[in-house]
A and B are shown apart, each in its own frame.
Chain A
Amino acid sequence: MAERNGFHALAVEAGELSMFAGRFFRNAFHRRFEWRELLRQAAINGSGSLPLVGITAFIMGLVLTVQSRPTLARFGAESMLPAMVAISVVREIAPVITALICAGKIGSSMGAELGSMKVTEQIDAMEVSGTNPFRYLAVTRIWSTTLMLPVLVVLADAIAIWASWVGVNIRDTVSWPLFYRQVFDSLEYGDILPAFAKSYFFGFAIGVVGCYKGFTTAKGTEGVGRSAHSAVVVASLLIFFLDLIAVQITDLLGLT
């Protein structure tokens, strides 16, 4: 029965999450839009996440380069290192790692912040005072993650590729102009654009899950912790599911 309950709970959660997403779309383009709050959230979720994302991207680029070198060197294909790292980073590593980092940082903070607002009845108070809490709190947050994640991903791409150049230069000496030429020679629009497009969905998933978990927090302060934690888990899982769907779509479109 536990399994059935688990599946039942999952189905209910999926349904509620979809309804929450639908509610967002109904309010997303409302003419009374909270621009100021959007900018505030964008600053927190976008530029505020850059240090963390930047460090992660730098380490990923460097580590990937250093780890791949022995295998490529065995085939005498060290000159393919920039191309290999660039394609891996741009197509998969930068979007997914950035999204996971943001799911951890932004999803948990949203779940906790909105959850504590919920349990302390601040959201209800907002409603009473005539402000639409969903438009003010949820729509701005979801828009901010949706719009900021692609920017973070692009910057993560650049940082990881630069880190890869640093990694190549630990053993070899390759000039930056040659390196970036090799990188761009290997890249196609089919590498960048699908990755860029899917990062919007990753950002949307992080925002929706974070806000949903915050808005549905119950059972006091314990519930706030649970919301923060489950926001990270669900958002991360959702990112992988979306990645799976995205890769199949790009494959069907012949972009891989």
Chain B
Amino acid sequence: MPSTSGRSLRLGLFVLAGTAVLVIGLYLLGSKRDLFSRTLTVEAVFQQVGGLRPGNNVRYMGINVGTVQDIAITSDTTVRVRLAIREEAAGHIRTNAVATVGTDGLMGNRLVNLAPGEGDGGPLADGTVLPSSVPLDTDLMLRTLDRTNANLAAITDDVRELAARLNTKGNAVDLLADTVLAHDLSAALREIRIAAEHARSATAGIDAVLGDVREGKGVLGTLVGDPASERQVRGLLGNLRQVSDSLHAATEGINRFAAALNTPGGIAHTLTADTLLTQDLRRTLSRLDTGSALLNEDLRALQRNWFFRGYFKDKEKVLKRGTRTRP
């Protein structure tokens, strides 16, 4: 039978061990909820908190810095969340840190994420109200995804229809499969290449010519490069200008003359526009016609007159001879 003191010692150790484990366990759980550390209480106002509960973690740059202490509805569109931030962590957080409600992993608990804000902010104090941003809502994401899926389905249908159309006879696929066309195309490309080579050699030729011109070779070069030629050309151009001036003066004279002709009373105007003169002229011409017919008759009568008959017979003989010698 074990001695009483030994038994008491074992019992004491047993009880102490059990109590120690219990106390440590409770302390660890309590420290998780920041029950035993000094905290600052700050607030953030959200439109909705997506199932956030008191006790959920608060993270700053991914590190647990506190817990959600209390959630209260303040109006029909706002929820005020009080956050207990551990004092040693609160020293690093500024008043412009932005609070968002997030999720720990894909399916985990809700939590409040604090992210450093832009610019400088003061140190946190009890009761500071942090700015908040709209949390990432999985429902909203799923709704968007649903819409995207519908769009994707429509696009897939279109693509399928397009593919079906492409596969039918006489369409783009046939065009792509046509070997003759491919041959023609390659021949055309060959031609284009040859043309391009020609163009290149032509360009080279032009280049050479331009080089010659620059160096003063050939007629063009001489023209461009020789100062004497330049003077001649300048002289030529001066003469040309004088000629053109004279031509201009002459043209103006002709114009004036034509204008004078066309003015009422001028010859041209009288000829073209005076109707009386036209009638006179017509009458005169008809009289001339009659006169010439009478004269013609008189002349034929004169030919038969014995006085002049000899002359006309001689003339006829000369004419006949002429036609015989000229076959």
A interface vs B, CB < 8 Å? Answer: 39-40, 42-43, 46-47, 50, 148, 150-152, 154-155, 157-158, 180, 184-185, 187-189, 192, 196
Q: Could you tell me if B11 and A192 are in contact, using CB atoms closer than 8 angstroms?
A: no
B29 in complex: contacting residue of A43, A154, A192, CB < 8 Å: A192
Give the residues in chain A near B8, CB-CB below 8 Å.
39, 43
- Whole-angstrom CA separation of A226 from B22 in the bound complex: 37
Q: A43-B7, A43-B8 are in contact. Are A188 and B18 (CB under 8 A)?
A: no
Q: Could you tell me if A189 and B21 are in contact, using CB atoms closer than 8 angstroms?
A: no
Give the residues in chain B near A158, CB-CB below 8 Å.
21, 25
Majority secondary structure, A binding face: helix
B22 in complex: contacting residue of A46, A189, A196, CB < 8 Å: A196
A43 in complex: contacting residue of B10, B17, B19, B28, CB < 8 Å: B10
Closest residue on chain A to residue B16 by CB atoms:
A151
Closest residue on chain A to residue B8 by CB atoms:
A39
Q: Could you tell me if B14 and A47 are in contact, using CB atoms closer than 8 angstroms?
A: yes
Give the residues in chain B near A185, CB-CB below 8 Å.
32
Majority secondary structure, B binding face: helix
Known pairs A40-B7, A43-B8, A47-B11 / 9 extra A-B pairs, C-beta < 8 Å: A43-B11, A150-B22, A151-B14, A151-B18, A155-B14, A155-B17, A157-B25, A180-B28, A189-B26
Q: Could you tell me if B11 and A39 are in contact, using CB atoms closer than 8 angstroms?
A: yes
CB A57 to nearest CB in B, in angstroms, measures 12
Closest residue on chain B to residue A45 by CB atoms:
B11
Give the residues in chain A near B55, CB-CB below 8 Å.
188
B interface vs A, CB < 8 Å? Answer: 4, 7-8, 10-11, 13-15, 17-19, 21-22, 25-26, 28-30, 32, 55
- Whole-angstrom CA separation of A10 from B281 in the bound complex: 166
Q: A150-B18, A158-B21, A196-B22 are in contact. Are A187 and B10 (CB under 8 A)?
A: no
- Whole-angstrom CA separation of A42 from B10 in the bound complex: 10
CB A184 to nearest CB in B, in angstroms, measures 5
B10 in complex: contacting residue of A47, A151, A157, A192, CB < 8 Å: A47
- Whole-angstrom CA separation of A154 from B7 in the bound complex: 21
- Whole-angstrom CA separation of A27 from B271 in the bound complex: 164
For this complex, 10 residue pairs linking A to B, each with C-beta atoms less than 8 Å apart, are: A39-B8, A40-B7, A43-B8, A46-B11, A46-B14, A47-B11, A50-B14, A151-B18, A154-B22, A157-B25
Give the residues in chain A near B19, CB-CB below 8 Å.
151, 154
Closest residue on chain A to residue B23 by CB atoms:
A154
The 6 closest A-B pairs by CB, nearest first: A151-B18, A47-B14, A43-B11, A43-B7, A47-B10, A184-B28
- Whole-angstrom CA separation of A39 from B17 in the bound complex: 16
CB A166 to nearest CB in B, in angstroms, measures 17
- Whole-angstrom CA separation of A192 from B23 in the bound complex: 11
- Whole-angstrom CA separation of A157 from B30 in the bound complex: 18
Closest residue on chain A to residue B109 by CB atoms:
A185
Give the residues in chain A near B25, CB-CB below 8 Å.
154, 157-158, 184, 187, 192
Closest residue on chain B to residue A150 by CB atoms:
B18
B15 in complex: contacting residue of A46, A180, A196, CB < 8 Å: A46
Q: Could you tell me if A157 and B7 are in contact, using CB atoms closer than 8 angstroms?
A: no
Give the residues in chain B near A155, CB-CB below 8 Å.
14, 17-18, 21
Q: A185-B32, A189-B26 are in contact. Are A152 and B7 (CB under 8 A)?
A: no
- Whole-angstrom CA separation of A39 from B29 in the bound complex: 31
Q: Could you tell me if B28 and A151 are in contact, using CB atoms closer than 8 angstroms?
A: no
CB A33 to nearest CB in B, in angstroms, measures 17
Q: Could you tell me if B7 and A184 are in contact, using CB atoms closer than 8 angstroms?
A: no
Closest residue on chain A to residue B19 by CB atoms:
A151
Closest residue on chain A to residue B22 by CB atoms:
A154
Q: Could you tell me if A157 and B21 are in contact, using CB atoms closer than 8 angstroms?
A: yes
CB A87 to nearest CB in B, in angstroms, measures 13
Give the residues in chain A near B10, CB-CB below 8 Å.
43, 47
Give the residues in chain B near A150, CB-CB below 8 Å.
18, 22
- Whole-angstrom CA separation of A252 from B8 in the bound complex: 41
CB B321 to nearest CB in A, in angstroms, measures 139
